[in-house]
A and B are shown apart, each in its own frame.
Chain A
Amino acid sequence: MLKLLVQRLALGVATLLAVSVLIFWVTELLPGDLASNILGQSATPENIAAIRAELGLDRPAVERYTEWLGDAVQGDLGKSLANKRPVIDVIGPRLVNTLFLAIYAAVIAVPLSVLLGILAAIYRNSVFDKGVNIASLAAISMPEFFIGYFLILFMSVQLKWFPAIATIKPEQGFFQHLYVTFLPMLTLILVVIAHMMRMTRTSVLSVMSSPYVEMAVLKGIPKGRIVVHHALPNALAPIINVIAINLAYLIVGVVVVEAVFTFNGLGRLMVDAVAKRDIPVVQACGLIFAIVFIGLNLIADVLSILSNPRLRHPR
């Protein structure tokens, strides 16, 4: 089993390397010359050449890539071109915000969706099952911005329960943060819950038709215990994988929700940086997103392997 785990880890690192190449290469492809962009109107050929030399853009791409990657591994992501501050300082607070919102949503969404999925499997084809399915399908079918604006209209403009703008400031306390970000959190939950809930339901139900579940029925075990004790442990692998993908989405894919609620997260920072041609920030954001995505999937892989008793307890 150790061999399997090491293999997965090596594969993860290799994927990350490949993605870093991709990130570097794609930012090179961004339209417009960086130097002329910085200089704007005052660009003369001499000025441009000077800036290019200063930024090291005249050197070959391979050389710049290895230097960038070497620095990044040591924690140095370079300096922002827009305001000359270290990229770490620009990204740091934004990353904290993004993680805060993602964890806030995940802590509620993951247990809730697994629970709903299990209940839907137990009461298969009941009114409850159908209701949950329809509601979650409806939530997933609507675009995020629509859900976001709808919640703003309803819960903040009309009922005035929650603020429409989710800008969190350091001087606010933890609970104030929770309150301010309630609406974006709710939007995210509505978006991710359907996937996880439906996968839980499906994989539990597929295990429910196996002979050992029939055996459990013939042993006189009640339905609820059969689902939780006999079916769920064997249905974990696909559930874990869907949870991982949704967790990754909560960190990587929430730029639209951030924009709707003017939340200062990593997604909006990256979009702004692209607009400003602030290449080091774009690259750093891309790298962080890649690490999150690959890391979470790696954890999911490892957990799925661990959930298999044949691998956990070899003969």
Chain B
Amino acid sequence: MAESATKTQLLDVRNLRIEAVAESGARVTLVDDVSFTLNPGEVLGLIGESGAGKSTIGLSTLVYARSGCQITGGQIVFRGHELRELGIEARQSLRGAKVAYIAQSAAAAFNPAHTLYDQVCEVALQHGVMNASQARVEAVRLFRELDLPNPETFGNRYPHQVSGGQLQRAMAAMAMIAKPDLLVFDEPTTALDVTTQVEVLASFKKLIRDHGTAALYITHDLAVVAQVADRIMVLRHGKMVEEGAATQILQQPRMDYTRMLVAERVAAQASTFVAPHGSSAQPILATRDVVASYRSGPRVIDNVSIELMRGDTLAVVGESGSGKSTLARVIVGLLPRQEGDVLFNGESLPPRLESRSKEQHRRIQMIYQMPDVALNPRQTLLDIIGRPIAFYFNKSRREVRARVEELMRQIDLPLDYISRRPGELSGGQKQRVCIARALAAEPDVIICDEVTSALDPLVADEILRLLRRIQDQTGVGYLFITHDLGTVRRIANKVAVMYKGQMVAYGATQQVFNPPYHPYTELLLSSVPEIRSDWLDEVLRKRRKVVR
């Protein structure tokens, strides 16, 4: 019986162990005793937070380990052959031909120096599956199948000449052209805007279904994997947490960790709205018909007027290129406005950063998306958090230290971390340090620019809760810039929806996120994946109806 089972299996991974070997010789286990099987045509979703070993497992099915990593144990049996025993040439003829890989960032994975045809057809030519003209015909067929515009001429373009969503689909064409038995999708829609993600996800799903190709679908987003996977495996710290049919994992998770992941995802969709505070009539921060552009280019933000009340949270949402981060830059003065006005507590702020007073700087602070880049790796937390205290308030060293300790208690970091450097902290802890640094200036407004986007869902959730608690304690106002509508729901009393530099909807979150919607807000809201497995089909059906 076991014999026949192995025969029908496409892939059988047993007790896989992958280690990273540091230069000092120290070993870190990235993947520890992971086993799974995959039947032809089946889709297995690999779910987990960063550092769970998902990508490392995905790459191991191509017998590839990133530099510094080694597959040190277990078996990877593909169609009855142990892949780890293959020599270099046999590995080359496996990669791309039998097992193909689709990376997270197509913009980085495509070679800027060659056309898309060149790179898509290269796989087929390299493996001798087709000749050049056949490969071209097949490429055009795949481009058409993936709903790419002008499929006949699409391949003549260079990677930088097409959009991110199109490039991601072109990569799927590149993976499919040699007709592999197994596709490895490594977070293929994570870098895309939600509205683009829906389309790309639909293309991928159609592709897998029509060709009957088996797939490993790696993602951190349960709702995305719910749309494509037959089975789901949950990973944490390189170990398997649980594995089962997609519906079972999503609806009746057995393990606590899986339950937490599911609960977080559901909360993002269903949490009740935060009501606006009925606070003072004078907004602490306001913009009036602000216009700005980079050099002599087109207007990046056009006639944007918002008002932030003391102690409130105003979310600015939109997709990449909508001008939401530019708005933040205009408010703090990094990019001088061309028209309109920015008012702080009723007073006009000078357009340029250089002409603002120290006090004006102090009262508006910023927190950024990437805590790694925003913190100086050579400074200790005392230096980092203490700097604004010494700079703005002229405190003695002892007073600074006392205040830093107070702030660290506020952000829930152990006091003995005070002499640590950012490199010794986790991503979430670093973001807490950034928050403490902003708070150190005792500002009235903090501009949060995608502060949770680079964090894992559970960590992001903690950061959001911390921000709300701080707001309750200090009455600081947040201007919360994000592309994640789930975050908006949980934290913002008011929301401004940006689209191509213009504000298309503005008001209390409850009102903007409920019917009657602005058409773009509706598109945005309906594009956020839901954890139901029939969500994608339903959205597509609805949209098709609208088009007709």
Contact = CB atoms under 8 A, between A and B. Distances in A.
Nearest to B175: A219
B425 interface: no
B101 A218 contact: yes
B161 interface: yes
Interface of B: 59, 62, 64, 66-67, 91-97, 100-101, 103, 105, 108-114, 122-123, 126-127, 157-158, 160-161, 174
Given A211-B109, A215-B109, A215-B110, A310 B160 contact: yes
B101 A215 contact: yes
Contacts of A217: 64, 95
Contact of B64 (A209, A210, A218): A218
Interface string A208-232: 0111101111111110010001100
B95 A220 contact: yes
A210 B264 CA distance: 35
A284 B76 CA distance: 72
A229 B186 CA distance: 25
Interface in A262-315: 309-310, 313, 315
Contacts, number: 76
A233 interface: yes
B110 A212 contact: yes
A121 to B, nearest CB: 15
A233 B67 CA distance: 23
User: How big is the A interface, by class?
Assistant: 20 to 34
A218 B92 contact: no
Interface of A: 209-212, 214-222, 225, 229-230, 233-234, 309-310, 313, 315
A233 B113 contact: yes
Contacts of B157: 313
Contacts of A233: 111, 113-114
Contacts of A211: 103, 105, 108-109
Contacts of A210: 108
Nearest to A233: B113
Given A218-B96, A222-B92, A313 B105 contact: no
A315 B159 CA distance: 10
A233 B108 CA distance: 16
B92 A221 contact: yes
Contacts of B126: 219-221, 225
B123 A219 contact: yes
Nearest to A312: B158
B135 to A, nearest CB: 13
B110 A220 contact: no
A309 B59 CA distance: 30
Nearest to A314: B161
A234 B114 CA distance: 10
B96 A220 contact: yes
Contact of B111 (A212, A218, A220): A212
Contacts of A229: 114
A218 B95 contact: yes
A83 to B, nearest CB: 55
9 contacts: A212-B108, A212-B110, A215-B101, A215-B103, A219-B96, A219-B126, A220-B92, A221-B92, A309-B112
A313 B96 CA distance: 28
B101 A309 contact: no
Contacts of B127: 220
Nearest to B89: A222
A187 B100 CA distance: 51
A220 B98 CA distance: 10
A216 B110 CA distance: 9
Given A215-B103, A313-B158, A220 B113 contact: no
